[in-house]
Amino acid sequence: MGEIADLIIDGQQCDLCGCHFKGPNADKPKANPKDPDPYWGHGHPATCWDCWKELTWDEKKSHARAIVPTYGY
């Protein structure tokens, strides 16, 4: 549970649905375990584009919209 919370706080997962955000290396296979993570970290909690569409105007004031798409599981 603590790992998921850390990912949400760092903005690697949507703060509402938990989907992972695609990083710049998302489509490349990891040849080396030390390669950058395929997830994007916003540095703050972020809401994915699908969840953003569902929020009301007032709810959007307390959320930050993501700047990259999700994997869309």
pLDDT digits over 12-70, tens only?
Answer: 999 999 999 987 766 666 666 665 566 788 999 999 999 999 999 999 999 999 999 99
pTM of the model: 0.79
CA distance 69 to 21: 6
Round the CA-based radius of gyration of the chain to a whole number and report it: 13
pLDDT recorded at residue 65: 96
pLDDT recorded at residue 27: 65
pLDDT recorded at residue 24: 72
DSSP, collapsed to helix, strand or coil, labels residue 70 as: strand
Q: What is the chain's length?
A: 73
Name 55's Cβ contacts closer than 8 Å, sequence gap at least 6.
Answer: 47, 63
Of 27 and 10, which is predicted with more confidence? Answer: 10
